[in-house]
Amino acid sequence: MICIMTGLTLMGGLLFLYPVFVAENRQNALNANKRLVKELRLTDLCLFTEARYTRHPSQADLHSAFQDHPMAFEHFPSGSLMLPPQFIHSLVSEEIQ
């Protein structure tokens, strides 16, 4: 049991060393992304391409999640992973008070 625990601890320690070995490669990839952001004047990460407010969260107007019709619900799944703007929470709590 103690041997297993020691082995696991050693393996955990090795994982802390892993970033050092891959640092150069990963830094190159990060720099390539950063270079492209500067060159093409990009503003967002390409993570969710299904709707404009998920592809460019920082550029979307505040109504774009509910764009289909008045009182529309936001319906793309990635919307549930993204947070609403912080000030909405404070507005709601003020209203409750």
Partner 1 sequence: MQWISRQSYFLDYALSSLLRRKWKNFSLIFIYGLIIFMISSVLFFSEAIRKEAEFILEDAPPIIVQRILAGRHELIPETYMTQIQEIRGIYKVTPRLWGYYYHPASKANYTIMVGNNGPQNDDEITIGNGVLRTWGTISDNQLFFKAYDGETIVLNITDTLDATAELVSSDLILVSESTFRRLFGVPEGFSTDFEVHIRNLSECPVIADKIVRILPDTRPILKEEIERTYASLFDWRSGYIIVLLSGAVLAFFIFAWDKATGLSAEEKAEIGILKALGWDTSDILLLKFWEGIAICFTAFVPAVIGAYIHVFLASAPLFEHALKGWSILYPEFQLNPHINAYQLGVVFALTVLPYTLITIIPAWRVSTTDPDTVMRQF
The residue ranges that bind partner 1 (CB under 8 A) are 1-2, 4-5, 8-9, 11-12, 15-16, 18-19, 22, 26-30, 32-52, 54-64, 67, 76-78, 80-83, 86
Nearer to partner 1 by Cβ, of 32 and 92: the residue is 32
d(CA 15, CA 93): 43
Q: Closest CB to partner 1 among 5 and 96?
A: 5
For residue 24, the minimal CB distance to partner 1 (Å) is 11
Q: How far is the CB of 18 from partner 1 (least distance, A)?
A: 6
Helix (H, G, I), strand (E, B) or coil at 62: coil
Nearest approach, Cβ of 51 to partner 1 (angstroms)? 8
Find the shortest distance in angstroms from Cβ 71 to partner 1: 14
Q: Is the dihedral of CA 75, 81, 87, 92 positive or negative?
A: positive
Select from 70, 77, 74 the least CA-distant residue to 50. 77
Structure tokens at 46: 């390409």
Other CB atoms within 10 Å distance of the CB of residue 57: 19
